[in-house]
Structure 1
Amino acid sequence: MDVLIHFFVGLHIIGIAALLGGFLTQMKAIGQGTARFVPGMLHGALTMLVTGVALVGLHQAHGYPVNTVKIGVKLALLIVILGLVYVKRDEERIDKGLFGLVGLLTTVNIFIAVLWT
């Protein structure tokens, strides 16, 4: 069971890398006002959602403790990120503030995962 949990943690990290990497590749475009949500950002957010739900289920099935408040906060942030990226995915230009919000929420989600024990 631990191998399966580690596998899903790896996939979860790949998802967040795709989301944050998509954001970071658009940094120059943000300054020019031509930033857009690339498909990798949507796929990364969806990967995070699916693997995160699977991780919670696997942890509960194995009897490991689950911090439901932490998971709830992370899920709420991810739903906001996913909603913004999904709704604005076809637009050629995204407002700087909105694009920055997605990057900020993604970074906050990472720090919650790492620092909240």
Structure 2
Amino acid sequence: MNVLINVFVALHVIGIAALLGGFMTQMKAMGAGTARMVPAMLHGALTMLVTGMALVGLNQAEGAAVDNVKIGVKLALLVVILGLVYVKRDDERVGRGPFAAVGALTVVNIFIATLWT
């Protein structure tokens, strides 16, 4: 079971990397006002959602304690990120506010995952 959990953790990290990497590639364009939500951001957020739910289920099945408040906060942030990315995915240009919000919420989600114990 530990191997399966570790595989899902690795996939979760890949999802985070895709979301944050997609944001980082568009930061220069954000300064010019031509940023857009790239497909990697949507795919990364969806990967985070699916693997995160799988991780919660696997950890509970193994009998490990799961901090439901932490998971709820992370899920709420991810739903907002997914909403912003999904709604703006076809726009040729995305405003600085929504685009910066995706990046900021992603970083906050990472800090919650690593610092909230």
Measured in 2, the distance between the counterparts of 1:89 and 1:106 equals 17
Shift in Å at residue 101 of structure 1? 0.4
Identity %: 76
Residue matched to 2:28 = 28
* 2:92 is equivalent to residue 83 of structure 1: no
Measured in 2, the distance between the counterparts of 1:28 and 1:105 equals 19
Q: CA RMSD in A?
A: 0.3
Instruction: Please state whether the residue corresponding to 2:108 is helix, strand or coil.
Output: helix
Q: Which aligned pairs between 1:4-43 and structure 2 lie closer than 5 A?
A: 4-43=4-43
Amino acid at match of 1:7: V
- State the Cα deviation string for residues 33-58 of structure 1 (Å, max 9, x = none): 00000000000000000000000000
Q: How many residues align?
A: 117
Q: Which aligned pairs between 1:22-101 and structure 2 lie closer than 5 A?
A: 22-101=22-101
Residue matched to 1:105 = 105
Q: State the 4+ residue runs in structure 1 displaced beyond 2 angstroms.
A: none
TM-score (norm 1): 0.99
Amino acid at match of 1:31: G
Shift in Å at residue 97 of structure 1? 1.1
- State the Cα deviation string for residues 7-64 of structure 1 (Å, max 9, x = none): 0000000000000000000011001000000000000000000000000000000000
Instruction: Please state whether the residue corresponding to 1:65 is helix, strand or coil.
Output: coil
Q: Which runs of 5+ in 1 are unaligned?
A: none
